[in-house]
Amino acid sequence: MQSTTSTVQQILPDLLEFPLVPPQADGSVVEIADGLLWIRMPMPMALDHINVYLIEDSDGWFILDTGLNTRTTRRLWQQIIEQHGKGKSVKGVICTHFHYDHSGLASWLTETFDVPLYMTHGEFYILKAISSNMSALGDAHQMAFYHQTGTPLEEVEAMIEGCRKDPFMQDSPPSFNRLREGDVLTIGKRNWRVVIGEGHSPEHACLYSEQDKILLAGDQLLPHISSNVLISELEPQGKQLENWLNSLNKLQTLDSKTLVLPAHGPVFKNLHLRAQQLIQHHQEQLDLLRTLASQHKEFTAYQALKCLFNRPLSPVESMMALGETLAHLNWLEDNGDLDCQRKNTSGINTYLSRQFADNDRSTL
């Protein structure tokens, strides 16, 4: 299933600087710097917009992220290029990652303007796999994965049905130009270095202009919310949280005065502080689970979900929250805080604090 951009977890952006007023999500444009335009596309969901960007070259424009595959977004792109393109057309589409608010119009844009797509290898092939395998939703493997978390069957079925009804699943383009860590894209007067992040998606590409101290951050650094970091049936014992924390540490090696251009929320400064806020958020989530483990000899991932996300969630939000809970549980297991008893007599995985596990190995 394709994850939406972020969990509903809010994190206060204390002490961040917001130097520019955002554009309206109606085709309006804000100039960030010479040859760099900020645009907002509407999204008919709780997260009601995505920031996309136009980067000017001598003979055309590169689009960074696409917005959802909707009639409104297609119309707005045509309007924006006509009104703000200075007579130049689009010459390439860059997608930071595969989530459909970022790549949903990749096929349409590359076909409409007859231009190449630029993505990382991991993002392109996840997009291709998901778009060609919608029939796998609710298959035996996926159902077994969610059953093992202890989630009631009716809730699992609601999650799967929510995915089936998702109107924004998209086709993948037939080909791409590969982005790799450290690649440099020279567009206009700027050199943009590719900085790869992991955790939210497998191989998320940010673009960094060292000379101008500008970071096109996608979902790797958001000012108001925490990007979803989840485990799915595709990689049940993945290290997504570890990868996410490592990626936040990597971003802190960039210049502290960098202007961050995120995919959601306003453009902001104080990159290092924001990365630390996000790290602290996940540390607090891990501490909540440690407390749960100190109070209960055994618990399921579903019970841990209720500890971390103790509020009403839609079925799709529940799927994302459960995946994020599993990412934290995997981290605690890998770091020696928990033992996981996989598939007990009821077929459900349960977790034990390492203290209990050391004292009572007979239960494993």
Mean pLDDT of the chain: 92
Residue 122 lies in a domain: yes
User: What confidence score (pLDDT) does residue 7 get?
Assistant: 42
CATH code of the domain containing 335: 1.10.10
Q: What are phi and psi of 194, to 5 degrees?
A: -80, 125
Range 336-344 contact pairs with CB under 8 angstroms and sequence separation of 24 or more? 337/290, 337/293, 338/289, 338/293, 339/364, 341/298, 342/148, 343/148
Q: 153-164 and 315-334 helices cross at what angle (nearest 10)?
A: 110
| 120 and 21 share one domain | yes
Reported as a pLDDT band with limits 50, 70 and 90, residue 355 is low
Per-residue pLDDT reduced to its tens digit, 175-198: 999 999 999 999 999 999 999 999
Reported as a pLDDT band with limits 50, 70 and 90, residue 27 is confident
| 311 and 225 share one domain | no
Which of 156-170, 210-224, 348-362 has maximum average pLDDT? Answer: 210-224
Q: Which residue among 280, 312, 333 closes a domain?
A: 280
pLDDT at 125 over 80: yes
Q: Which two tokens stand for residue 104?
A: 């949903």
pLDDT at 13 over 60: no
User: Which residues neighbour 343 within 8 Å (Cβ) at sequence distance 6 or greater?
Assistant: 148, 349
Q: What is the DSSP string of 222-269?
A: -SSEEEP----TTSTT--HHHHHHHHHHHHTTS-TTPEEEESSS--BB
Per-residue pLDDT reduced to its tens digit, 225-262: 999 999 999 999 999 999 999 999 999 999 999 999 99
CATH code of the domain containing 93: 3.60.15.10
- Write the burial class of residue 193 (CB in 10 Å: 0-12 exposed, 13-18 middle, 19+ buried): middle
User: What confidence score (pLDDT) does residue 14 get?
Assistant: 64
Residue 286 lies in a domain: no
Higher pLDDT, 172 or 102: 102
Residue 285 lies in a domain: no
User: What confidence score (pLDDT) does residue 268 get?
Assistant: 98
pLDDT at 1 over 80: no
Q: Which two tokens stand for residue 229?
A: 């970091």
User: What confidence score (pLDDT) does residue 364 get?
Assistant: 20
| 181 and 252 share one domain | yes
Placement of tokens 């977004």 in the chain:
73
| 92 and 187 share one domain | yes
Placement of tokens 């860590």 in the chain:
181
| 301 and 267 share one domain | no
Per-residue pLDDT reduced to its tens digit, 258-294: 999 999 999 999 999 999 999 999 999 999 999 999 9
Query: What does DSSP say about strands 60-64 and 90-94: parallel, antiparallel, or unpaired?
Result: parallel
Per-residue pLDDT reduced to its tens digit, 108-124: 999 999 999 999 999 99
Residue 210 lies in a domain: yes
Reported as a pLDDT band with limits 50, 70 and 90, residue 12 is low
Q: Which residue among 280, 315, 339 closes a domain?
A: 280
Residue 288 lies in a domain: no
| 240 and 297 share one domain | no
| 236 and 330 share one domain | no
- 90 three-class SS: strand
User: What confidence score (pLDDT) does residue 135 get?
Assistant: 72
| 40 and 173 share one domain | yes
| 112 and 167 share one domain | yes
Residue 311 lies in a domain: yes
Per-residue pLDDT reduced to its tens digit, 30-84: 999 999 999 999 999 989 999 999 999 999 999 999 999 999 999 999 999 999 9
pLDDT at 9 over 50: no
Question: How many distinct structural domains can be found in the chain?
Answer: 2
Residue 245 lies in a domain: yes
CA dist 262 and 216 (Å) reads 6
Residue 358 lies in a domain: yes
Per-residue pLDDT reduced to its tens digit, 198-208: 999 999 999 99
Domain residues for the domain of 125 are 6-280
- CB atoms under 10 Å from CB of 194, counted, come to 18
pTM of the prediction?
A: 0.92
| 208 and 181 share one domain | yes
Q: Which residue among 280, 307, 322 closes a domain?
A: 280
| 169 and 213 share one domain | yes
pLDDT at 134 over 80: no
| 142 and 169 share one domain | yes
- 40 three-class SS: strand
